[in-house]
Amino acid sequence: MSERSQETDAFADVCNQLRNHAYKLTPQRQTILKIFLEQGSGHLSAEEIYQLVKPHYPDIGLATIYRTLDILADLGILQKNDFGDGRSRYEFSRRDEHHHHHLICLRCGSVSEFDDDLLESLETMIAKRNKFKVVDHVLKFYGYCSKCQEELKRDV
């Protein structure tokens, strides 16, 4: 299946979820959803989304963005993340995919994702040893991206 048809399917699925929960599918909400689909694995703040939506809808307010993000997060369509920079960031939830984790640069604030199957075996071991059913986990590593490491070396 092509990437474009996957985006179209994902968009239609989210639209159906909104309708099934009696939410209106406003043009502004459609634009916000399309921005997330275009950004792929982007971790966008409400302010960043606002800047991307504003050219399409100059009269849109930041409160509308926040309300839409809250609705999409409550429905499990978006995942709300706190990376310690004072802003919530959002990404599409991936219920059917393997867990992914985040690397957060303390200097530039960039966020990248990584998958590591070792963490799944660790989760299984923790669950077994502690007789605890794990249903979710979040893992964030804070440090310096390669670009910032190079810049820090030059500054010394």
Binding-site members are: 99, 105, 108, 120, 137, 145, 148
Is residue 13 classed as helix, strand or coil in its secondary structure? Answer: helix
Using alpha carbons, list the distances in angstroms from residue 18 to 43, 70, 84, 119: 21, 12, 30, 33
The answer to whether 23 and 39 are in contact (CB under 8 A) is no
Which residues are annotated binding-site positions for Fe cation?
Answer: 99, 120, 137
Specify whether the CB–CB gap between 68 and 29 falls below 8 A: yes
Residues annotated within the binding site for Zn(2+) are 105, 108, 145, 148
CB-based contact 27:9 (threshold 8 Å): no
